[in-house]
Amino acid sequence: MTWLRAPRVLAGPGIWSFEHRPRPKEEPHEIAVPQLIAGAVISFLCAWLLWSLLMNGYLGPYWKWPLEVMLPDSWKTGNTGVISSFVYMAIVLGAIVVLFGRVGRWPALFRRLLAPVGRRVWKRLPGWLAPKDPAAMPGGALILRVVLALAVVWLLWQWCTDESRDSSLLMLQLENLTPVSGDAASYFYYSTSYSLIDLALLLALFSPFGCWAEAWRRCAPGDRSRRAEAADASASAAPVLQVDHAEWAELRAAGAGAAAERLAREAWAGLMNDVDHARITRAWESVRAQTGRLPAFVDSVQQHGSGACGHPSGARDLPVRTARHDLLTGQVRIGTASDDVRNPYERRGVGCALDPAVLGTSLLAVGPPGAGKTNGLVRPVLEAMCLQALAGRAAVVSVGAAGAGPAGADAFDAVVRVGHRESPCDLDLYGGTTDPDEAAAVLAEALVGDVVAGAPGGEGRRAGTVLGQLLGPFRVAYGRFPGVAELRELLDGAPEAIAALRSALEAAGEHGALRELDARERQAQRAGDIGALLADRIALLDRPAFAGFFDPTGQSRQVSLRALDRPLRVRIDLPERGHADASRILARLVLAQFTECAVARSDRSVFACLVLDDASHVVTQEALRGLQRLRSANAGVVLTLRALDDVPEALRGALLGTVGCRMAFAGVTTWDGARFAEVWGKAWVETRDVTDRQIVSDEPFTKLMHSIRRLVTGKDVTAKAVTVRTVERERWSASDLANAVPAGHAVLSVTSVTGESAPPVLVDLRG
């Protein structure tokens, strides 16, 4: 419930909205602490002097003129006169305190010196005395605390002001601290004053236990209205996320009161976690879109409570979490913006987070090995996507080297260990499609995409045509696509394989497929046919280590990316140690299948995310076209690179321009930094140039003083001249990115799918 009730301020893309406190855009001018102390002391002495002059009559009787004019004569004598004089002096004293307090900046001094000490003391108080979060306290517990505190204060105050006992605190005050003259007016005046002082001290003493500030905040209608007006005034700049946290008012309004009561009861009892809340909220959104699902939804909630509408795996949380997640906004916190002068002031000290709204523009992270790409970026993003998948909001595919997975196997529904004979799952080489041309285009991109990466595009189409001339007839003849060994034989032009395929087509009477096969045989006789290159590349997958994999006969449990419209969690381990070239082919294959399947989905309500750890030699010209289409398909890709040298030179600028989120880790080279500096552009900044000019005087006395000063300090007497200019400079230069980014840090810029962007910010990934 504390997590649900926490405020969330939507201050912009890339900002951690959980309990976010917006900062001003410009850095306020702060006065030095010694100057604050001197001003406060001087103003206090002036106020004390003025009050003493008033009390001792040195300023005459004129300051009492409003009291003499405004009060009737009956109020100027007896006890009423004493009380009215006391009230008037209190008003005058309050005016003096307010006036000189503003002049001496007493509130600023309190915030700078005393407020931090008070917060530290408050945090160290025990929970029964001062709750850490009074706003999260239930109403019954708050009322009980208020009543108990008032009862204790009343009893102690009665004991302190008991006039029948000479040992009461009030009697001690009257005897030792006041010049009582003995008359009734003076006794009434001082007894009333010290009774109120005792009451104020007791109220202040028991304020932490009674939580009276929180009670007043909840009960005072004026305070609520002022807060509402302030919230409306700042809504345009930083809107606050409004969520029906635990009462499920929409369910009650739709007639599902029993289900709403069950969910609210389990939330208050601690039987519901953040994944359950997000999953049921997602299910309710689907019910609102299709009202016919309401009875099934209500039955599931009444039977299973917070476990209703569960994920197919039955899991309700991840075994291990290493990052901070907020499933109400879908964010994962990856670090904190450093307090660096190159960061905008409004971003300094603010949490940095990623969510589907920014990952939908894809993310590129560049940094040398050991810079923290896996621990600081890939692992939090994978955890967030897996949690979103358990909530029914995302589908995630993780691709990385075998044995170096950023997340455990128990966090995924399917794990494909390519080259491992005990792998429980297999990878579909053709992406689950039944269209030969589509399968040929995706497979051609995987096999020869790196070869034709810098070409205009003709060779890629030739490779797709060659594969289509074989895949189409083979599927017509056998009702399936060929396996790796069969495809290799066809590309090599083996007479037995071609003859068997021709016989099957003739028996089936498929003359169109026969014409495709004849065309392939004629083209294979030409010089420079790309079929030989395709055969060499497919031979990298036809190795003994991969025996039994990529089986198109359906005898194994194959993972197809056609299921991206469902909350699927897939991990693919590539054998990079002994089969580096084959791993790159498979990585390009998964990327090509992902971009094709994510765009072809009919239901795009589930966010599809591909996390490709180490995308070396994977980015191609066709892959960049696929990344551009993902923004409108509610999908995104996270790519990590050791350096931009792993991408063809002709595609480096296009890659940085295609992705919306860019991240440069500590240790990048100046060449890579120059690319990032170019894409991040420039900004107008204010510079101050200070010049020292030597002062030369012709007056004898001034010359003497300058000579004495030169002897004492050893420096000439100079005068400073300050020139303020507005110039355009790079946000982050190549030298700064290469040399000024500390270890464990990265420079991050994000862009949302709606086009809202944020400037590059230095992020501490360890914060």
pLDDT of residue 560: 87
Higher-scoring residue by pLDDT: 591, 57:
591
Please determine, for residue 595, whether its predicted confidence score (pLDDT) is greater than 90: yes
- The pLDDT score that the predictor gives to residue 227 is 47
At residue 243, the pLDDT reads 61
Q: Give the model's confidence band at 230: pLDDT under 50 very low, under 70 low, under 90 confident, else very high.
A: very low
Residue 410: which of 330, 327, 323, 321 has the closest Cα? Answer: 321
- Predicted local confidence at residue 188, as pLDDT: 57
User: How much is the pLDDT for 84?
Assistant: 74
pLDDT at 655: 94
Which of 269, 274, 249 has its CA nearest to residue 260?
A: 249
pLDDT (average), residues 163-182: 52
Distances, alpha carbon 446 to alpha carbons 585, 586, 652, 753, in Å: 5, 7, 19, 28
Exposed/middle/buried for residue 114 (C-beta within 10 Å: 0-12, 13-18, 19+): exposed
pLDDT for res 691: 83
Does residue 415 register a pLDDT over 60?
Answer: yes
- Higher-scoring residue by pLDDT: 722, 77: 722
Q: Return d(Cα 394, Cα 551) in angstroms, integer.
A: 28
For residue 224, pLDDT beyond 50: no
Greatest mean pLDDT among 206-210, 356-360, 473-477, 721-725 lies in 356-360
CA–CA separation, 701 vs 314, rounded Å? Answer: 92
Decide if pLDDT at 197 tops 80: no
The owner of tokens 């080279």 is 669
Both tokens assigned to 487: 């495809």
Would you state the pLDDT for residue 225?
45
Confidence band (pLDDT; 50, 70, 90) for 133? low
Q: Are 353 and 17 in contact (CB under 8 A)?
A: yes
Is the pLDDT reported for residue 749 higher than 90?
yes
Mean pLDDT within 358-365:
95
pLDDT digits 0-9 by tens, 516-569: 888 888 888 887 788 889 999 999 998 888 888 888 887 778 888 888 889 999
pLDDT digits (tens, 9 = 90+) for 477-518: 998 899 999 999 999 888 898 999 999 988 888 888 889 888
Instruction: Rank 44-48, 206-210, 422-426, 552-556 by mean pLDDT and report only the highest.
Output: 44-48
Report which of residues 602 and 455 the model is more confident about. 602
Quick one: pLDDT at residue 252?
84
Which helix (H) or strand (E) segment holds residue 300: the answer is helix 294-304
pLDDT for residue 8? 87
Following DSSP, what letter does each residue of 140-170 receive, concatenated? HHHHHHHHHHHHHHHHHHHHHT-TT-TTSHH
Supply the pLDDT for residue 128.
Answer: 55
For position 82, what pLDDT does the model report? 66
Does pLDDT of 316 surpass 60?
yes
pLDDT attached to residue 323: 92
**Residue 250 pLDDT > 60:** yes
| Higher per-residue confidence, 48 vs 714 | 48
- Given this model, what pLDDT does residue 238 score? 61
Distance (Å, whole) CA 602 – CA 653: 32
Report the 10 Å Cβ neighbour count for 91. 12
Distance separating alpha carbons of residues 239 and 431, to the nearest angstrom: 42
- DSSP conformational letter for 378: I
In this prediction, residue 724 carries a pLDDT of: 85
Band of residue 164 on the pLDDT scale cut at 50, 70, 90: low
- Partners of 689 in the β-ladder: 723
Instruction: pLDDT band for 733, please (50, 70, 90 cuts).
Output: very high
Note the pLDDT of residue 521. Answer: 87
Residue 161 confidence (pLDDT): 65
Label residues 353-391 b or e (16+ Cβ within 10 Å = b).
bbbbbbbbbbbbbbbeeebbbbbbbbbbbbbbbbbbbbb
Q: What are phi and psi of 12, to 5 degrees?
A: 140, 170
> Helices (DSSP H) in 411-570: which residue ranges?
436-448, 458-478, 484-492, 495-508, 511-524, 531-539
> pLDDT averaged over the chain?
83
Side-chain half-sphere CA neighbours of 644 within 13 A? 23
Residue 10: per-residue pLDDT = 87
Instruction: Provide the pLDDT for residue 387.
Output: 95
At a CB cut-off of 8 Å and minimum separation 6, what does 148 contact?
209, 210
pLDDT value, residue 292: 83
- pLDDT tens-place string over residues 278-294: 999 899 888 888 888 88
Mean pLDDT of 9-34: 84
What string of DSSP letters covers 542-599?
Answer: SSGGGTT-S-TTS-S-EE-GGGTTS--EEEEEE-TTT-HHHHHHHHHHHHHHHHHHHH
Q: What confidence category does residue 234 fall into, taking pLDDT thresholds of 50, 70 and 90?
A: very low
- Domain limits, the chain: 33-217, 254-307, 436-444+454-538, 684-730
Tokens of 767: 């914060």
The three-state (H, E, C) secondary structure of 680-716, written as one string:
HCEEEEEEEEEEEEECCCCCHHHHHHHHHHHHHHCCC
Q: Residue 668 class from Cβ within 10 Å (0-12 exposed, 13-18 middle, 19+ buried)?
A: buried
What would the mean pLDDT of 46-71 be, rounded to a whole number?
Answer: 79
What is the C-alpha to C-alpha distance for residues 226 and 327, in angstroms, rounded to an integer? Answer: 30
| 442 or 81: which leads in pLDDT | 442
